[in-house]
Amino acid sequence: MQIYFSTVIRDAPPRQGGELVWLDWQARQIKQRVPITATNPTLEDPNPGSSTRGGRGVQVLDGHVIVASYHTLKVFDRALVHQHDISNPLLVGLHEICSDGADKMWVSCTALDAALQIGLKDGTLLRQFWPGEMAECQRRFGITPLVLDKRADNRTLFVKGTRYKSNRLHLNAIAMWQGEMYALLAKQGAIMNLDRQEVVIQAPALRGGHNLVIHEQGIAAVNNTYGRAILFCDLKARDVVRVIKLTEFPPVRALLRWHDMVHRVRRALQRVRLYPNTPPFPLFVRGLSLLDQQLFVGVSPASILCLNWQQGDLIDVYSYSHDVRVCVHGLQAVTDV
């Protein structure tokens, strides 16, 4: 089994802010890794947090590995030799991506609260969803559409956050099920069917979540990023039906023990202004890939947990870094070589 994952490194210089990594899971061997930076256009990012740094969503498509940077889809071959880049003036604040055939990719543009279908040959915009412009979101969440010139190059306009709106949806993950597009609206704690313009599930536990993977039976898995758990939502029953708390597993608690103590000390120092920035959160859960009964979950410090998602058991843990600033972001497991 091969795993491709991306990382983001908090507080790192933007050009050293993360990687794309190829891991042979059985051999526990790193086969290749390459840096991922947001260039062309290059961004000046004063935010010491992740912001524009590193890689985001990852998809393996035929003989290629595609990873999102802040504003670009970067295409590699399976050995992580760079092939070419794809961008578009509306690719802003990319998070998760979702393949849609051999020549199309869906991307979540979180800064714009948009889900866009992009042609992989030239970055052409093929389809688009803007939930903030949908009556369902405006009524349910009390939001107004983002004021945006969709014909302009927006890729450098949102870096400092000056144009972020307090009523954002924070659309950060997308997935297809039964031919329809679903999105995670993290700020509102909701999963929405974009084709039907309908909120399917809204629950407090989904707020601040990340990643959206939907099993063929209609069970959606979502990372509860700060709650250190995996949520399972039944799209037919329209409810959260199960929770796997990662801290219930002894190996995960062992991974956390030192980092939790250090985090508490740093938070105390931050409150009295003796620690400069918001300290990185240990067991920050991002990255999710479903392969048969195995669910692969990314966390910080950069590690991958392998779960039997149906039985709720932890099968294995792989640690890539012991630095809590380094977090897995995008993740996909594949069985072919």
End-to-end CA distance of the chain: 7
147 contact partners, CB below 8 Å, separation of at least 6: none
pLDDT at 325: 92
pLDDT of residue 160: 66
Give me the pLDDT at residue 328, please: 97
Tell me how far apart the alpha carbons of residues 228 and 317 are, in angstroms, rounded to a whole number. 15
The pLDDT assigned to 51 comes to: 76
**Domains: count for the chain:** 1
pLDDT in tens, the chain (337 residues): 999 999 999 888 878 899 999 999 999 999 999 999 988 888 877 776 667 899 999 999 989 999 999 999 999 999 999 999 999 999 999 999 999 877 899 999 999 999 999 999 889 999 999 999 999 999 999 999 888 999 999 998 887 655 555 568 999 999 999 999 999 999 999 999 999 999 999 999 999 999 999 999 999 999 999 899 999 999 999 999 999 999 999 999 988 888 888 888 888 888 888 777 788 888 999 999 999 899 999 999 999 999 999 999 999 999 999 999 999 999 999 997 6
Work out whether strand 72-77 and strand 82-87 pair parallel, antiparallel, or are unpaired: antiparallel
Number of other residues whose CB lies within 10 A of the CB of residue 292: 10
Peptide bond just before 279 cis, omega within 30 deg? no
**What is the per-residue pLDDT for 336?**
73
**Burial track 159-168 (b if 16+ CB lie within 10 A, e otherwise):** beeeeeeebb
Q: What is the CATH number of the domain that holds 208?
A: 2.120.10.30
Closest alpha carbon to 234 in 243, 247, 226 = 243
The pLDDT of residue 255 is 86
Token duo for residue 324: 């809590």
Interior angle at CA 120, CA 170 and CA 77, nearest 5? 105
117: CB partners within 8 A, 6+ apart: 100, 104, 105, 106, 125, 126, 127, 128
- Return phi, psi of residue 157, to 5°: -85, -15
Both tokens of residue 189? 């704690």
Among 118, 129, 108, which Cα is nearest to 193's? 129
Which pTM value belongs to this model? 0.94
Using an 8 Å Cβ cutoff, are 233 and 222 in contact?
yes
β-pair type (171-177, 125-129): unpaired
Distance CA 321, CA 3 (A): 16
Residues 239 and 197: beta-carbon distance below 8 Å: no
Q: Is the distance from CB of 331 to CB of 304 less than 8 angstroms?
A: yes
Residue 215 is predicted with a pLDDT of 96
Domain range for 327 = 2-334
